[in-house]
Amino acid sequence: MKRIVTTGLTLTVIVLLAACSSKEEKGSLSEKKTQLADLQKEQQAISDKIKTLEEAIQKMDTTANFGLTKQVVVTPLVLQNFSHYIDLQGKIDAQDISYVSPRGMGGQVRSLLVKQGDRVRKGQLLLKLDDAIARQGLASAQQGAESVKTQLALAKNLYQRQKNLYDQGIGAEVQLLNSKNNVDALENQLKQANEGIKMAQVPAA
**pTM greater than 0.85 (yes/no):** no
Digit-coded pLDDT (tens) for 166-192: 888 887 888 888 888 888 988 888 888
Alpha-carbon span 103 to 15, nearest angstrom: 121
Q: What is the mean pLDDT of residues 25-32?
A: 71
Residue with more model confidence, 152 or 19: 152
- SS3 state at 169: coil
- Whether 29 and 21 have beta carbons less than 8 Å apart is answered as no
Q: What is the mean pLDDT of residues 65-93?
A: 78
Q: What is the mean pLDDT of residues 112-119?
A: 87
- SS3 state at 45: helix
Q: How many CB atoms lie within 10 A of CB 141?
A: 20
**Which of 55-69, 81-95, 122-136, 171-185 has the lowest average pLDDT?**
55-69
Name the nearest CA neighbour of 152 among 176, 185, 186: 186
Bridge partners of residue 109, in order along the sequence: 129
For Cα atoms 70, 76, 78, give the angle at the middle one, nearest 5 degrees.
135
